[in-house]
Amino acid sequence: MDLNIKALAVVGAVLMGACLLLVGIANLIFPSYGVAFLDLMASLYPGYHGPDGFGSVIVGTLYAAVDGAVCGAILAWLYNLVAGRATPHRGATGVQQPGVAGD
């Protein structure tokens, strides 16, 4: 079974973006919340300076969404690459095809 690369990229983008957005908004409401996480993200994403205001939260969210999309796509691609080599290919009848990896 292959993973859909585009779908996993979208899921990664939504999850990472939403995570940083929610923690960033919570930090604007409760200034001591998530400071370590936001500082870590600031050290990873150039142009994002941590909990400085709503504009900074939006910039960090965009960086996190792009990062999540790239990581999700790479993860799906690597999974498909490894899973394709680890399992023998079988035809429609379920019989292993001659001359295909796994003989």
Is pLDDT of 32 > 70?
A: yes
Asked whether 60 and 51 are in contact (CB, 8 A), the reply is: no
Q: Is the pLDDT of residue 27 over 80?
A: yes
Condensed to tens digits (0 to 9), the pLDDT of residues 41-100 reads 999 988 888 777 888 899 999 999 999 999 999 999 999 999 887 666 565 565 666 665
- The structure's pTM equals 0.77
pLDDT at 1 over 90: no
- Both structure tokens of 64: 């996190």
Per-residue pLDDT, 53: 85
Q: Under a CB-based contact definition with an 8 Å cutoff, are residues 103 and 90 in contact?
A: no
